[in-house]
Structure 1
Amino acid sequence: MGTIAETKYGKLEGIKENGINKWLGIPYAKPPVGELRFKRTVECEPWNGVRYAKKHGSKPHQFANTSEEVGIESEDCLYMNIWAPENAKNSPVFVWIYGGAYAMGSCSEAYYDGTNFAKEGIVYVAFNYRLGVLGFYDFTMYDDSFDSNCGVSDQIMALKWVKENIEAFGGDPNNITIAGESAGAASVTNMLAVPKAKGLFNKAIAESPLPGCVTSHNTARLITDIYLKRLGLEASEVHKLKTMELEDIKKAALYVIDDTCSSYPGMYIPGPVLDDLIPRLPWEGIALGSSKGVKLIIGTNHDEGTLFINKNKSMLPGGWKDVERMLRMNKCFDSLPKIHKLYDKFSEEMIQIQEIMKDRTFLVDSIKVADAQSEKNDTWMYRFDYAPISAKLNGLGATHAVEVSVALNNTKGEGIAYSFWRDTPEDIIKKFIENMHMSWVNFAKTGDPNGNLDIEWKKYDSKSRTTFVFDEENKVENNPAKDIYETWRDIKLYTDI
């Protein structure tokens, strides 16, 4: 197959490098600019002739401080990149959804490069979606001319585009795996419950998701009120956002997470809301059969919380006083003794809060998703326990996002995503690529992660809760988070205030 791909919207000319075909900066939707700001995604318009697809499209506007190089940001950001083996035909498809707290990230980051998947015979796709205020803030309670879940609608449109066009790039439209990490993994669990995403993919991988980061409109308004106050706007003036300069829109958003944690400890970052696109929390939709035809891998890292609450820098919550306030505000203060019982075994308050954040934010709701999906289709659960040398020296352990480089087989480069593995011996890195990355490759190809592991990764069910542990010596544990799950499973925080 050459580098000319004919989609339903027009022809694209890509690049051929070392047996890999690449198409960069492919538009999958109409630019969400002008009157389409704060509106859901509109289908891409066809073009005449051959469109060059040889360089990355603009990144979405970033709504959080980051140490990474940002590059060119634009509201016109709905682009995707595709990597494929030179002679791909009916090849399995792997679609990556980046993380970044629904506030930062893009598909053009070097550590999301798909070359190594293409070398394994897989067509790899990564796409941008709108972030922060433009993609996930909910203004519908003030003005119904705004749309909710604009970023979610971007993701649905991208998956629809892939389903309809990937055959032109050598991909099999009936063998699509979606995958992501953090907010990207939460997006994956959301897609499992999104009616409009049904049938657009066959398998899913969720690395460290926040499945509970979907709020009601009323709860979302608590955050949006904080944002408007920082912006100096009254609720009746929200229409001004449609024409406001982006720098002004972004500046106020930088304070929202800190202000939210101060006002409502334990509340999630601004993210999706429950509406017609996401009618139920992921595990609730899954239990009703929303993703019956989908196979799932889901898991978390041993020390998720350290990245957020390290060196006294707190995200949510900030300490035991915040925990107590959080429970009082949500009318579940009677849960405090059992929470203390679970975490008082850790000697320092900071470590206790790290564990609370990991369990409440990532682990317990991931188990809820795994329990529900395992009743509908094959499900596998994992925990990533290995702490690379740099992460260990920094007191982070097997922290949030530490596994992404080995899962995607991109371990060399500059930036925080690479720094975790920088001082780790090559043989250790190779082992984790052989284990985790190849499990993802096998899953994308066959629907089973086994094939390269030294021990069998058994399927998950809600009784045994079998969990594969990635470490220097892999192992399997049954129901390793039983006490944690039983403590948190019925505690509802900010579900609708």
Structure 2
Amino acid sequence: MTDLIVPTAQGKLKGKVFGKVYEKPFLGFLGIPYAKAPVGDLRFKPPQDPEPWVGIKNCTKEGTPCPSKHLSFKFYIGNEDNCLNLNVFTRQTKNVTTPKPVLFFIHGGAFILGNNRTEVYGPDFLMAEEIVVVVINYRLGVLGFLAIEDDSYGIPGNAGLKDQVMALKWVQRNILNFGGDPNNVTIVGQSAGSIACHFLMLSPLAKGLFHRAILASGVALNTWATGGTYNLHKLGYLLGYMEQDDKSIFEKLKKEPLKNIVAAQYEYKDDCLLDKIRPFVPIVEKPSKDAFISDLPINIIKSGNYNKVPFMIGYTTNEGMLFELLRMIMTWNKIPKSLDNEIPHDVPHNGDVEKINTIKEKVKNYYFKGNEVGKKTYSDILNMKSDSAFRYHIQKAIKLHQETNDKPMYFYKFSHEGPFNYTKKLVAVTSRILLYILLALAFMTKLIPPINNFFHFLIQKLPMRENLKGTSHCDDVGYLWKYRIHPKIRPGSPEDFYVRRMVKLWTNFVKYENPTPEVDNEHFEGVLWKPISKTDLPCLNIDETLEMVKNPDKERYQFWDSIYSL
């Protein structure tokens, strides 16, 4: 097929027929380098333009992930030599009369985990629509977010976010050759990817590189979104260095094996707890023409000086279930027995013990109704974390944007509980042993596909905890992206309907700037999704049916607003 050979600014590349959706084939171009390999003197530094090649580059196999650890089993993965790569999926590349809208996806993983591989981000569901899909890697953890105060090192921080800007520039230069429209690009992210999208909205470096945004379960105001400090000495400490000056630490760091650097950041346990100050995440840089952001996100939003684009934003009903999954995977992470370490680090108190005690007492009364914090009230702990680590700041961002953004904004709440709520199903198993059995089976499906059937049999039959209510963080992802562990979906089944409905909502926004551009009884039961106004906060509740509700979780938002205002 001539469609499989595509010219780019760096040279020609070859893709493959990746799959079929409803009997229509689509193409995949995998592991395309969008920046120069960040190795040697470029490690930790902002990305550089990709190098050209001679001949035709084979882009039929997935690229290397950026160095990190496997979420479930903690072994080292990735390679920095060619990790700044992206995947492009499209229906056709030749004879495209009208270029297609582009969905540009940024993966989650708390800025320390994740990649663009199709075992999680299979494009099959999305490719049912006439769009082009781009899924990127970016540098994670220390490699993406080392920040040194001395300007002479050229490492001011945010290299991982600048990778995303470089990938967007690659799209602007090349996506037309894949049938995509460079003037119609929607950035989409979930969790840390959503936070990254919000940062891109706030960054002058991303101006003009995208035209819409979809933010799922994260904003730049979240407690775990910014580190706020220079972190070279923190890394030196974690690596066991005795040196105290920047030059000595950095000279040793340049010679340090990559696996040791990646392992060191995991020695800092709080980096995996999303309500603590985290050292290897985005930072506010010193003002300069090359700074990604040079002011606090809240100040940028209030100023109105940012990339104002239409956006969709939302969360799940019980985001805090993620903390239970992290607790089960990280054996050192225990169920809290008090609120001593549970108050978000950005609640202002200036170390005033009396004020801290007042805050803890108010939070305890609100969520625990006088009961003790611990195993018996663990569902209340997760409920509290849903608000403090996710929902409050998401709603805070919405309210701030109401004041300064004149573009259409759409708010949603994902409430649907179904067979593809994989995070909740993993969280709900009754023991760590059963969890690891399921994780091992999910991992093995790559090697032995028939194991997938056994995985789904077990996940339906294993005993599950019944006190976990709502939908977990990441439970919406399985209705947009085809995981390797997804079962075959029978056309006309309820699962087929729910996937098609989610895909329609998201891709309608990508195409038309409106998730329900017209009454659609087939997919949306005639519901029209109303945008946010200056004074009104309508929200689409996505459950078995769709329903417009007004100002959801208002009381919880007001409670945390009162805490932050004490």
> TM-score, normalising length from structure 1?
0.87
Q: Which of the numbers 536, 539, 546 marks the counterpart of 1:464?
A: 536
Residue in structure 1 matched with residue 341 of structure 2 by the alignment: 322
Q: Is the 8 A contact 2:69 2:77 kept in 1?
A: no
Q: Is the 8 A contact 2:30 2:59 kept in 1?
A: yes
Alignment map for 1:347-358 (pairs within 5 Å): 348-358=376-386
Determine the C-alpha separation between the residues in 2 that align with 1:464 and 1:481: 14
Residue in structure 2 matched with residue 49 of structure 1 by the alignment: 55
Q: CA deviation at 1:352?
A: 2.6
Residue in structure 2 matched with residue 388 of structure 1 by the alignment: 418
Amino acid at match of 1:164: R
Q: Is the 8 A contact 1:383 1:468 kept in 2?
A: yes
Q: CA deviation at 1:329?
A: 6.2
Tell me: CA distance 1:54–1:324, structure 2 relative to 1, closer, same or farther (3 Å).
closer
Determine the C-alpha separation between the residues in 2 that align with 1:302 and 1:144: 44
Tell me: CA distance 1:68–1:108, structure 2 relative to 1, closer, same or farther (3 Å).
farther
Secondary structure at the aligned position of 2:497 is classed as helix
Residue in structure 2 matched with residue 379 of structure 1 by the alignment: 409
Q: CA deviation at 1:376?
A: 2.3
Q: Is the 8 A contact 1:193 1:281 kept in 2?
A: no
Structure 1: where are the runs of 5+ without partners?
none
Determine the C-alpha separation between the residues in 2 that align with 1:360 and 1:120: 36
2:132 aligned with 1:104, yes or no? no
Q: Is the 8 A contact 2:220 2:226 kept in 1?
A: no
Using the TM superposition, name which of 174-183 and 387-396 deviates more: 387-396
Determine the C-alpha separation between the residues in 2 that align with 1:398 and 1:80: 30
Tell me: CA distance 1:249–1:492, structure 2 relative to 1, closer, same or farther (3 Å).
farther
Residue in structure 2 matched with residue 5 of structure 1 by the alignment: 6
Tell me: CA distance 1:75–1:11, structure 2 relative to 1, closer, same or farther (3 Å).
closer
Q: Is the 8 A contact 1:141 1:217 kept in 2?
A: no
Q: Which of the numbers 519, 524, 528 marks the counterpart of 1:453?
A: 524
Determine the C-alpha separation between the residues in 2 that align with 1:57 and 1:158: 15
Q: CA deviation at 1:290?
A: 4.2
- Deviation per CA, 1:103-136, whole angstroms, max 9, x where unpaired? 1111123221223323311110011101111012
Amino acid at match of 1:280: D
Give the RMSD, CA atoms, in angstroms.
3.2
Secondary structure at the aligned position of 2:406 is classed as coil
Alignment map for 1:1-80 (pairs within 5 Å): 2-17=3-18, 18=20, 19-63=25-69, 65-67=71-73, 72-80=78-86
Q: Is the 8 A contact 2:68 2:113 kept in 1?
A: yes
Alignment map for 1:300-315 (pairs within 5 Å): 300-309=315-324, 314=333
> TM-score, normalising length from structure 2?
0.77
Q: Is the 8 A contact 2:364 2:370 kept in 1?
A: no
Determine the C-alpha separation between the residues in 1 that align with 2:270 and 2:177: 46
Residue in structure 2 matched with residue 483 of structure 1 by the alignment: 555
Secondary structure at the aligned position of 2:383 is classed as helix
Q: Which of the numbers 475, 486, 495 marks the counterpart of 1:429?
A: 495
Secondary structure at the aligned position of 1:146 is classed as coil
Q: Is the 8 A contact 1:300 1:383 kept in 2?
A: yes
Determine the C-alpha separation between the residues in 2 that align with 1:269 and 1:423: 42
Q: CA deviation at 1:406?
A: 0.2
Alignment map for 1:207-222 (pairs within 5 Å): 207-212=216-221, 213-215=224-226, 217-218=228-229, 221=231
Residue in structure 1 matched with residue 101 of structure 2 by the alignment: 92
Identity of aligned residues (%): 29
Tell me: CA distance 1:16–1:259, structure 2 relative to 1, closer, same or farther (3 Å).
closer
Residue in structure 2 matched with residue 402 of structure 1 by the alignment: 475
Residue in structure 1 matched with residue 277 of structure 2 by the alignment: 267
Determine the C-alpha separation between the residues in 2 that align with 1:188 and 1:367: 16
Q: CA deviation at 1:139?
A: 3.6
Q: CA deviation at 1:235?
A: 3.6
Residue in structure 2 matched with residue 298 of structure 1 by the alignment: 313
Alignment map for 1:215-294 (pairs within 5 Å): 215=226, 217-218=228-229, 221=231, 225-233=233-241, 234-236=243-245, 237-239=248-250, 240-258=252-270, 266-268=276-278, 270-275=280-285, 276-294=291-309
Determine the C-alpha separation between the residues in 2 that align with 1:456 and 1:259: 41
Secondary structure at the aligned position of 2:259 is classed as helix
Q: CA deviation at 1:349?
A: 3.4
Q: CA deviation at 1:453?
A: 1.6
Q: CA deviation at 1:315?
A: 8.3
Q: CA deviation at 1:268?
A: 4.4
- Deviation per CA, 1:45-88, whole angstroms, max 9, x where unpaired? 22233222221111110146434997653343101110111254
- Deviation per CA, 1:421-458, whole angstroms, max 9, x where unpaired? 99999833223212222101111111111153222211
Q: Is the 8 A contact 2:539 2:550 kept in 1?
A: yes
Tell me: CA distance 1:431–1:423, structure 2 relative to 1, closer, same or farther (3 Å).
closer
Amino acid at match of 2:498: F
2:176 aligned with 1:161, yes or no? no
Q: CA deviation at 1:477?
A: 1.8
